[in-house]
Amino acid sequence: MAIDLRAERFRDLTELRQVATEKRVRALLDGETVLDSRAALLVWEPRRVTPLYAVPPGDIAVTLSEAEPAALPDDLPAVLSPVHPEWHTTPGRSLTLEGHGEVAFRPDDPALGGRVIVHSRPFTWMEEDEVVLGHPRDPYSRIDTARSSRHVRVLVGDVVVADSTRPVALFETGLPVRWYLPPEDVRTDLLRPSDTHTTCPYKGVASYLSAEDAPDVAWFYPEPLHDAAPVAGMLCFWRDAAVLVDDVRADGSMPGES
């Protein structure tokens, strides 16, 4: 029987997963190189869909101290975002750096060869000589864009804030389709700039806009990375808005959300 590859991708979500990378990986702190490895793994803890680097302890140039891992909340989500890297779902020991708290984790699993999983923050990360934004890129994920003539309308409450027949659809592995709209097709007079910014290793740094009673309801990439160049300056709306594609409401929920 044919398998559903999207379902297969999340079938092993409860397992600790790893894959080797051929990339030279470095981490900088305050401009100084504190980690330099040619033997890194990409590691996904259980319930994680974004990886972190795991490196041999000898590739780390700062002193880390062991600590008890943080207690997990009772209502732990089925799928964990990168927001709480201190939530560990496999046995091991937390590692702290003076002045920065927990920055790493040493899993007990022998398959990792004693490697230490290192958080994205507070470091600046490099793959070869390129800066990595957000978290490491997943070698099994990609983004793709396509110009479309579908009719996309966006409502915030009962107010139509966007109406377009020239969207760009952005497809990202394992995530909902996102519809990016030209600003000329959006009621930008109903939106105001937000102080929120987020980073994506595939798309770049996003800026956000808020509507009345709907904070950070839309975002855009002023200077996207190469793969997301077709959506530069275009607006996309979050799940607090109703996004209708050819009069059918789009499902904008993330993996693990009901």
The reply to whether 87 and 147 lie within a common domain is no
The helix/strand/coil state of 78 is: coil
Asked whether residue 257 is domain-assigned, the answer is: no
Residue 248 bridge partners (DSSP): 245
Q: Could you tell me the CATH number of the domain that includes residue 60?
A: 2.170.150.40
Spatial separation of the C-alpha atoms in residues 250 and 238, rounded to whole Å:
11
Instruction: Choose one of 113, 132, 151: the last residue of a domain.
Output: 132
Query: pLDDT grade, residue 258 (50/70/90)?
Result: very low
Burial 156-171, CB ≥16 within 10 A → b, else e? beeeebbebeebbbbe
The reply to whether 35 and 126 lie within a common domain is yes
Averaged confidence pLDDT in the chain: 91
Domain encompassing residue 164: 143-249
The mean pLDDT of 7-26, rounded to a whole number, is 88
Residue 146 in this model has a pLDDT that exceeds 60: yes
- Comparing 258 with 182, which gets the higher pLDDT? 182
The mean pLDDT of 247-258, rounded to a whole number, is 68
67-117 residue pLDDT tens: 888 888 888 888 888 888 888 989 999 999 988 988 999 999 999 999 999
The reply to whether 98 and 48 lie within a common domain is yes
Quote the pTM value.
0.84
- Comparing 1 with 111, which gets the higher pLDDT? 111
Structurally, the chain folds into a number of domains equal to: 2
Asked whether residue 216 is domain-assigned, the answer is: yes
Spatial separation of the C-alpha atoms in residues 230 and 221, rounded to whole Å:
10
Burial label for 176, CB within 10 Å (0-12, 13-18, 19+), is middle
Spatial separation of the C-alpha atoms in residues 120 and 116, rounded to whole Å:
13
Asked whether residue 44 is domain-assigned, the answer is: yes
Residue 211 in this model has a pLDDT that exceeds 80: yes
- Comparing 212 with 182, which gets the higher pLDDT? 182
Structure tokens at 83: 């927001």
Instruction: Choose one of 132, 164, 188: the last residue of a domain.
Output: 132
Q: 240 and 156 in contact (C-beta within 8 Å)? A: yes
The reply to whether 69 and 155 lie within a common domain is no
The reply to whether 11 and 113 lie within a common domain is yes
CA 34 to chain centre: 24
